[in-house]
Structure 1
């Protein structure tokens, strides 16, 4: 099946992960540390054992500060397979009917929700009410209303809500952010984000309005939305958008095929972005200032990410995004570490407000003001 996961996996190529780079000091490579890690370890259960769940599980084998200890699935055969593959004890295995009982399991700290978008809200709130920290894959919900309910539920339960923004820990991304903050690009004027691929199987959940909440925008377009914010360093204040649909048989009502959208930022910068399920070779960010530029292509795939600025290529080893993400999220949850780019529920909520604004702009043909 040709899906976003296949698309991102192809981008990854055959590059091997090299020594991990500190996501908080992207210019300094960490030397291999043979000293056993003695600090706290985040014990994680994965809810949803699909292809991306397995990618996360494989990446967590190399984590020092996070460990896969449990699974939640509606497919018993998958549970058995994962038990054998990852050494998961029976007492840490749940199905979709009984995982509220996780509240009685002291051996699980957090649950990573990796299911279709339309299920995120209910499942995340159930996890929160069970007293476990929530890590939810992006987009965090199908609209801002649901996202706000998730934020409120986690606050009420006094648990953390983090969103799976793996690019927020990617070294080349962080180096460009560092350079922009240091003023090396001057006044930021323009951002372009291109996110898209040709999607396959028309029966998959990503083309189901109820499960996906939309089409390409909810799947791949959110990368350009989020990328525009961390590359420019501001939140947008208005949006305009236009939709093109050439295949209404495949892309039903409420499932977008291609959307172009424009964002305006308080400092005067503008962004021009494309989200599509009908074109390949689209994974590029470009940031332009009055003193320099930065380009990333690929910009959001599983790696290796490639980046350059007006000063030349960015040379950093490829790191496995999900390994770094889960170790850093362990530090955020257990040690209160503050990431350079937020990954909390409020960050995800902002993206959902922009998504809502994009869909409204498509429907009305008007500029929509954003209040994030």
Structure 2
């Protein structure tokens, strides 16, 4: 189009608006071939995955290629045993976020729950079992891993029954109610040549992994102090977690265990000494059988000290801090299912600064399930095997002994 053909007298604002926008774009558009010259957003198939080249400059935060999910017939099938709050609200929904695992069976003492959840998750009647039918899982080839989510005192029985079926086992923490049972669980799985993983979900959580990486990489010098607290206010005194025979203890094995395991994992060392104190509110019906609050300190061979605390009677608190020569790493909301925030505190140009470390949040349960699936497919040992759970069982027993004696306990 040539504007010279339009008389100036009639080239008003209204007339200009009548000029075809498409004709102007056509006049300025490059040839069709040139539009397809850059494939930056189209990506391509490489090694069986659809991948995209980077589109940001090198001074921007790095982008990671997203690994696609495995096809359904290549995913590892899991049977989830026990349909309590944790299973229904966290574990079962996590399979939708999983890339390597799938839900293949449910086991429960409640036929009503089995019927409802089986329908919700697309399972047939031949994938639903009561506890009395547990051994029928042996004939379900699609089930390769059994995830035990029962009360602590029942872990040993069902881990041994799972191993006898030749199935790999993912077991909730704490591993057992005492170290002798934990030893038996490790031994049974070794004898049957099946994998045993303890579900320390935080060990697979991205913020915790980044914290461990920076600390063990000594980016800010040696660790001097570790602080961690995990507390919540328990309610109904009749719940199983407040029954010694079912739980094996109170706040320490349930939520204090997160502090214990995180301190060991972050530092990459085992403690050499422990001191501890326990306190429970007199006449509180919640604490007739189990402890309310525990505070303990650990000295590590490197000289690092850890001050850890837990409570069933305090307002919710969840935080971890690692103090080093040159900086501190602070992990807020350290142990809940979501909401983690990792920050670096240090001096820059003479000023104290806090920098939030941007870590992508992901479903902790999906990550741990996928890790177990990957170990099964590739015949690898889990990052948190039964031996890891056994170490914590022995350390918690030492914490109880130290609190009872009031003395510093050498390990």
Work out which of the residue numbers 340, 359, 365 in structure 2 matches 1:316.
359
Deviations 1:50-105 (A, max 9, x none): 11112111011121200001011011101101110111122222111220222222
Deviations 1:334-365 (A, max 9, x none): 213466xx211011111111111111112222
1:1-372 aligned at under 5 Å gives the runs 29-32=63-66, 37=71, 40-54=74-88, 55-310=90-345, 312-337=355-380, 342-370=383-411
Deviations 1:106-155 (A, max 9, x none): 12101100011111111111111111111000111111111111100110
**Aligned-partner Cα distance in 2 for 1:62–1:43:** 14
Mean Cα displacement is larger for which, 241-250 or 73-82? Answer: 241-250
Give the SS at the match of 2:131: coil
Mean Cα displacement is larger for which, 323-332 or 205-214? Answer: 323-332
Q: Which has the higher contact order (CA 8 A, sep 6+)?
A: 1
Whether contact under 8 Å (2:270, 2:300) holds in the other structure is yes
Shift of 1:35: 7.5
**Aligned-partner Cα distance in 2 for 1:35–1:67:** 11
Runs of 4+ that moved beyond 6 A? none
**Aligned-partner Cα distance in 1 for 2:298–2:326:** 22
Deviations 1:283-318 (A, max 9, x none): 000111112211101101111211112362111222
Whether contact under 8 Å (1:190, 1:287) holds in the other structure is yes
Question: TM-score, structure 1 length as denominator?
Answer: 0.88
**Aligned-partner Cα distance in 1 for 2:306–2:341:** 21
Whether contact under 8 Å (1:40, 1:334) holds in the other structure is no
Whether contact under 8 Å (2:77, 2:101) holds in the other structure is yes
* Higher-Rg member (1/2): 2
CA distance change for structure 1 residues 314 and 361 in 2, over 3 Å: closer, same or farther? same
Deviations 1:221-251 (A, max 9, x none): 0000101111212111221110111144324
**Aligned-partner Cα distance in 2 for 1:42–1:321:** 18
**Structure that is richer in strand per residue:** 2
**Aligned-partner Cα distance in 2 for 1:351–1:230:** 11
**Aligned-partner Cα distance in 2 for 1:267–1:334:** 37
The answer for unaligned runs of 5 or more in structure 2 is: 1-60, 347-354
Shift of 1:160: 0.3
Question: TM-score, structure 2 length as denominator?
Answer: 0.80
Partner in structure 1 of residue 28 of structure 2: none
Give the SS at the match of 1:256: coil
**Aligned-partner Cα distance in 2 for 1:35–1:252:** 46
Whether contact under 8 Å (1:184, 1:292) holds in the other structure is no
**C-alpha RMSD of the superposition:** 1.8
Whether contact under 8 Å (1:125, 1:153) holds in the other structure is yes
Shift of 1:33: 5.0
